[in-house]
Structure 1
């Protein structure tokens, strides 16, 4: 046992060192959503339901955009392992261009969705709240793309603390802005849901500006800036980012779609079901953000080792990662299960919503280990740049398994919200198993081709 532990001890330590700041940063995103949900829910149940619908639609495209930026981590991480500093700076010019194009593409899609929002079967009384909040979220979308472009750069060079501090500062700003604008403090008009949207938008713009400023004016990034200045946008770099980024974006987008599109089904069951669904999504993000933060460190470390062609270290990093993810899953699930009957009361005084939340926590508990497994091995595949299998695996797991089962249990069999959530454990577990198989298969091919 001591020998087995000694093989992974260095990797446990390094993954923790890199992963904890990413986890804190990921939790910063959760706190932002948590604060919005908590403060909006205290203001109005209808506003909470409207926020649930809009946030879930935007979560889908934001996760897709973030997945696209994850190509940067793999490329920068490999170059960092090879100590090619100027080349990283040059690559970033193409990365910013590619992600700006992605921001434009996603904005067009969301404009089309906005023009058809009345056709999506949501309660009529929510539409007057949904529309203005939707437009505010739309304005902030490009800034999310730019922030994450530079965040993946800092993560790729193992400087994961930078984004952590920026996210913490942005979330403090957002929570304070919520308090001022939602409830009308300091002489401001009480804006409710609109105030929450404005506060989030402002914080996202400032966070993106800070990350850009750090890259161009931070002393420790001088050599990367020099590579940016001397380099140019290269078609080969632009293409490689797209080739790696699209599968990652689709994989993360399809996973998120299993949750976000389920909001459409839940909306058919009424406002209280939709409000409970939003509360559960916020709770479920706790585990996901923690697992994905640690798994992102797995991708960084593996990409560094891929640059050095140290495949033994690649394997041990992935194994150490799954050990740590399962430990985090246990630590995360335990208090949620213990306090399942009261946790919904943090968000709303509506007794029906609180009761729905307590029952929905059971399927949430069931899928945690499958979720942790798929996070770890999807990121292991990202680190090795073996990303194409992610697309069809995600499609099968989430669109062939998870969503249809959610419809079967929730709509056809009549279990409503609870039934929709019982579709998730099947899809996430299947995804985790298949990612593991294809990570192993892809790495064996890489090792064989390097001999």
Structure 2
């Protein structure tokens, strides 16, 4: 009976989270398609996309992290039936996210020369440069889309961002096929063709979601008649106060995975390509946990607006439990299929690159065993983080994520990866240590906060 009070929430949690999961998986699926298609060109090209995207991941983490401030504010306003506050949160969030997207694009352009100073294989750097120009520009539509998505999630309208992402995926796959390989009379552009596909698909995503929200009764009045140049200091400060720590939390986590890409590059192009394969597969399972994290943020935000703190705690724990169970299934899949999954990414019939491809598969298979272990830690830490954002508790979780990833995780990755025989596996053992520390400390924080709220009431 005790367990039932948590499991009875599973159906509604999944209903709310599933479209977010699909949308998030859609984002990652764009990366998967890019990687599989580019992997047919060779391991240097795959490593170049990995290096270019490592800069993108850092910028995206700041943009996406910042936009998460919109969801709990809109969810709380929706719980209180306060239209004015909800519209204000959306408007200010959209202005801030679009400005941030432009700033991040310019920052990547300025940071490009760093590639030559990072001890990466030179052939990889030369291939990555033109790819990064176009993909960096796609940050502008991506971060604006993120603002629309977080607003939509806050109103519990999680289906519409999913539709936009699925349409964008179709556009991306078609353009990749035509432009990477030069089909149907189009120019053969290699990895630059993959960048064009990503850029166009992200503009399609924004236009499609905006059109959907404008035509839906629940959201129409929020997204129309927006006075963009009439901004209030109070709401601006509130979004920045919530958004900046959330952006830092995401940055600390994404940056350690990016550091893993760079450390792998120091080991060579094959370890870097293997790292990219394992990272891409792990990020797909992580997006499922991210969907549950958004569900936690929305439901906790609603319960906070209603002042129902006992229900808030019970609902949040039911989401943590669901995340734990799903992550266990993914862990088993990674262990059982660790030899098979890396083969999807490479042309195993290519005799010329046979030795390179076999080495990449061998390293990636080993990394997937470690990735299986941290599935559970990763799912727990991201769902608890979502619940804490719903409570609008962001400062201490930011400090926790910094300690977990950069005081615990990174030194272990650096030492085991570059100074022991563990090499690539050592880098991933550090990731596992960071994620596990984060999961434990964040849960302790959530446990204390919710018990205090219940006692006070």
Which band: TM-score by shorter chain? Answer: over 0.9
Match of residue 344 from structure 1? 342
The answer to whether residue 366 in structure 2 is matched with residue 359 in structure 1 is yes
| SS of residue matched to 2:2 | helix
| Partner residue in 1 for 2:377 | 370
How do 1:8-157 and structure 2 match up within 5 A? 8-157=6-155
- Provide structure 2 residue ranges, at least 5 long, that are not aligned to the other structure: 349-356
In 2, are the aligned partners of 1:89 and 1:227 still within 8 Å (CA)? Answer: no
Distance, in Å, in 1 between the alignment partners of 2:225 and 2:138 is 29
| 1:437 counterpart SS class | helix
Tell me, what secondary structure is at the counterpart of 2:267?
A: coil
The 8 Å contact of residues 291 and 376 in structure 1, kept in 2 or not, is answered as yes
Deviation at 1:359, TM superposition (A): 1.0
Q: Contact 1:93/1:232 (CA < 8 Å) preserved in 2?
A: no
Contact 1:94 1:232 survives alignment (8 Å): no
The Cα offsets for residues 354-375 of structure 1, whole Å up to 9 and x where unpaired, read as 1111111121112111111101
Equivalent residue number for residue 446 of structure 2 = 439
> How far off its partner does 1:190 sit?
1.2
Q: 1:390 aligns with which of 362, 386, 397?
A: 397
Match of 1:426 in 2: 433
Equivalence map 1:128-207=2 (5 Å):
128-207=126-205
- CA deviation after TM superposition for structure 1 residue 183, in Å: 0.9
Give secondary structure in 2 for the equivalent of 1:186. coil
Are the counterparts in 2 of residues 66 and 148 from structure 1 also a CA contact under 8 Å? yes
State the secondary structure of the residue aligned to 1:422.
Answer: helix
Structure 1 position 90, deviation (Å) = 2.6
Q: What is the aligned partner in structure 2 of residue 292 from structure 1?
A: 290
Match of 1:277 in 2: 275
The number of aligned residues is 448
Is the aligned partner of 1:327 residue 2:316? no
1:372-417 CA distance string (max 9 Å, x none) = 1101111110010011112111111111111110011111113221
Deviations 1:241-277 (A, max 9, x none): 1100011111111101110112111111111111111
Query: How far did 1:84 drift?
Result: 1.5
User: Is the Cα–Cα contact under 8 Å of residues 85 and 223 in structure 1 kept in the other structure?
Assistant: no
Deviations 1:102-148 (A, max 9, x none): 22332232122113321121111122211100101111111111000
User: Could you say which residue in structure 1 is the equivalent of 2:5?
Assistant: 7
Q: Are the structure 2 counterparts of residues 139 and 231 from structure 1 closer, same or farther at C-alpha, using a change threshold of 3 Å?
A: closer
Q: Does structure 1 retain, via aligned residues, the 8 Å contact 2:274–2:360?
A: yes
Report if the CA contact (8 A) 1:40-1:193 is conserved: yes
2:408 maps to 401
- 2 CA distance for matches of 1:30 and 1:115? 27
The 8 Å contact of residues 72 and 297 in structure 2, kept in 1 or not, is answered as: yes
Which residue in 1 is equivalent to 2:387? 380
Indicate if the aligned counterparts of 1:80 and 1:88 stay in contact, CA closer than 8 A: yes
CA contact (8 A) 2:180 2:191 kept: yes
Q: Deviations 1:307-331 (Å, cap 9, x if unpaired)?
A: 1111111101111011110111122
Find the aligned partners of 1:226 and 1:136 in 2 and give their Cα distance. 31
Label 1:216 to 1:438 Cα distance change in 2 as closer, same or farther (>3 A): same
Distance change >3 Å, CA 106–CA 225, structure 1 → 2: closer
Give 1:10 deviation, angstroms.
4.3
Question: Where do residues 217-256 of structure 1 align in structure 2 (5 Å cutoff)?
Answer: 217-225=215-223, 228=226, 232-256=230-254
Q: TM-score, normalised by structure 2?
A: 0.94
Please say if residues 90 and 228 of structure 1, whose CA atoms lie closer than 8 Å, have aligned partners that are also in contact. no
Q: What is the distance in 1 between the residues matched to 2:341 and 2:326? A: 20
Q: SS at 1:367's partner residue? A: helix
Normalized against structure 1, the TM-score is what?
0.96
Alignment match, 1:414: 421
Cα offsets for 1:258-306 (capped at 9, x unmatched): 1011211111111111111110110111221111111211111110111
Q: How far does the alpha carbon of each residue in 1:179-236 deviate from its partner, in whole angstroms, 9 at most, with x for none?
A: 1111111111111100001001100111012222333444442332467459942111
Contact 2:330 2:375 survives alignment (8 Å): no
Question: Is the contact between residue 114 and residue 131 of structure 1 (CA under 8 Å) also seen in structure 2?
Answer: yes
**Ranges in structure 1 where 5+ consecutive residues have no aligned partner:** none
Secondary structure of 2:186's counterpart equals coil
What is the aligned-residue RMSD (CA, Å)?
A: 1.7
- SS in structure 2 at match of 1:423: helix
